[in-house]
Amino acid sequence: MIVDEFLTAKDRIALKKLPLTLKLRKNSSCLVIIGADSVELGDALSQYISMCLKEDAYFFHTPKTELILPEIVGSGSNISLDKYIIIKLYDQKLTDAGKSKINAGLLLYRDYIPEYNLKLIFILSHDLMRYLQTSAYDFFSFNNYSRFFFDHKYRYERIDTDNRKLSTLIKELNTYLSGNNKKTNSIIEKTFSIIREAYQKSEADIAFDYSHKLLKLSAKSNDKFHQAVALSYIGVIYRSKGDADNALKYHMQALEIHKEIGYKQGEDSQLGNIGLIYRSKGDADNALKYLKQALEIAKKYKFKSLEKKIKSSLDEIKNKILQ
């Protein structure tokens, strides 16, 4: 299968769950949101989904306006609403204004999905998917399948040209591991440096892989601080992939360790992360509970930047409740 050439083993396993989701939702509304970090991978995913659905697929290549859902169900549309509608937005370069308009349209008309029994498959660029995941979390909250997929070949081929620092850090670690007199603390620090650089450069899969390595190393050496750091990064990346349940699990573990070692800034950060995950799941009560705890710590220890972010999140949730 062509798409298998692009994906890691983990992503291939995740993709195999999609056909079952599509089969189970055939007679009801459905929302699938997929991210592709290269045009080639987007094309391969489109082909794979088309093969799964066969005659039940309709490609809605390029919407004429940012109001995608009204365009699909409008009186001038010739789209059969009985089919799965595949909306390809991974090969378009959008301005911030364009992203904002798409975001507003999806939020405003999201009720069209259950109302018209729409079966939608969005294939987005990673940039657009991250934007919508943050700004249109209400739209994301009721999806049936959501995942960022990474072009394995593209990602590793471009490291040397696009990110020489990350490539250098990985080579330095590998060189150190092949030598004698290796110290666990040094391996941990070098691994942590790779994670930070990979995350900053949006190399989520690399950050994810090395975070698991860091977790294993730090647990073995009883390095609680780096255990919590690794757990937090894993949680953040799961959240970016749309997996709120796994994100919550890892952030909860990080929170407990930060409490154990008395690292208040880490505790505050994890409480905020947990609150935001509950917000994305539509659980306002738990979102408020954890964000209020985070705000108390931020005020007490004068974590000004965290305090500002937490207040903003709390205001958003309270305003939504009042609507």
CATH code of the domain covering residue 272: 1.25.40.10
Single residue among 138, 154, 170 that ends a domain in this structure: 154
Contact 201, 220 (CB under 8 A): no
CA gap 158, 198 in Å, rounded: 13
CA distances from 110 to 18, 70, 90, 271, 323 (A): 22, 10, 20, 30, 17
Helix (H) or strand (E) holding 61: none
Single residue among 96, 123, 154 that ends a domain in this structure: 154
Going residue by residue through the chain, which has 323 residues, state the pLDDT in tens, using 9 for 90 and above.
578 888 877 788 889 889 998 988 888 889 999 999 888 899 899 989 988 998 888 887 655 666 788 888 776 677 788 889 998 888 777 787 888 888 888 888 888 888 888 899 999 988 888 888 777 766 766 788 888 888 876 555 555 445 788 888 988 999 999 988 899 999 999 999 999 888 877 788 889 999 999 999 999 999 999 999 999 999 999 888 888 999 999 999 999 999 999 999 899 999 999 999 998 888 999 999 999 999 999 999 888 888 888 998 898 888 877 66
List the domain range (segments joined by +) for residue 80: 2-154
- Does residue 136 sit in the same domain as residue 219? no
pTM here? 0.54
* Start-to-end Cα distance in the chain: 48
Residue 9's φ and ψ, nearest 5 degrees, are -60, -40
Contact 83, 58 (CB under 8 A): yes
Contact 263, 224 (CB under 8 A): no
CATH number for 140: 3.40.50
Residue 126's φ and ψ, nearest 5 degrees, are -60, -40
- Does residue 135 sit in the same domain as residue 162? no
In which residue are the tokens 């069209």 written? 112
Q: Name the domain count of the chain.
A: 2
* 176 C-beta neighbours (distance < 10 Å), count: 14
- Does residue 219 sit in the same domain as residue 109? no
* 115 C-beta neighbours (distance < 10 Å), count: 12
